[in-house]
Amino acid sequence: MIPVIGEISCGDPITAVENIEGYIAEPASRLPSGILFYLRAKGDSMAPTIENGALVLIREQDDVENGEVAAVLVNGGTEATLKRVKKDNGTLLLIPDNRNYPPIIATNENPVRVIGKAIRVTREL
């Protein structure tokens, strides 16, 4: 049973609140190791890869490879967003897949913290 722990922004960052909405049964043979949870995507900054309302399976980890999609805490760890991570000469950029949104640049004044890697996206019809 994988918990669905709320929404994550795919647009402007939203306040990070963990509220278990329910659970999704998954066969263990289809899951990676580690601590797993689902987040519901809210917004369209990651479209077309991740549509508004999609469930995103996240594996808890504090780093991802260049180009991977991650759940990230921003604004002092008070807001969460889902973005593609780009590492460029020591600079960390959070890149939306939707070109209508600007990237978020990590700085000392705007620190970011990866909380997990997006593993799978599902959407109900």
Got the DSSP string for 1-25?
-EEEEEEEESSS-EE------EEE-
By the 8 A CB rule, do 50 and 56 touch? yes
Query: Which one of 9, 42, 45, 117 is the catalytic residue?
Result: 45
pLDDT of residue 20: 79
Question: What's the gap between Cα 12 and its chain centre?
Answer: 13
pLDDT of residue 7: 78
Active site residue 83: yes
Query: What is the phi/psi pair of residue 9, to 5°?
Result: -75, 135
Q: Is 60 helix (H, G, I), strand (E, B) or coil?
A: strand
What structural domains and CATH numbers belong to the chain? 2-122 (2.10.109.10)
**pLDDT category, 13, cuts 50, 70, 90?**
low
Distance CA 70, CA 82 (A): 6
pLDDT of residue 91: 86
By the 8 A CB rule, do 71 and 82 touch? yes
Active site residue 29: no
| Cβ atoms < 10 Å from Cβ of 94 | 24
Q: Is 28 helix (H, G, I), strand (E, B) or coil?
A: helix
| Tens of pLDDT, residues 30-72 | 889 999 999 999 999 999 999 999 999 999 999 999 999 999 9
Query: Which one of 83, 86, 87, 117 is the catalytic residue?
Result: 83
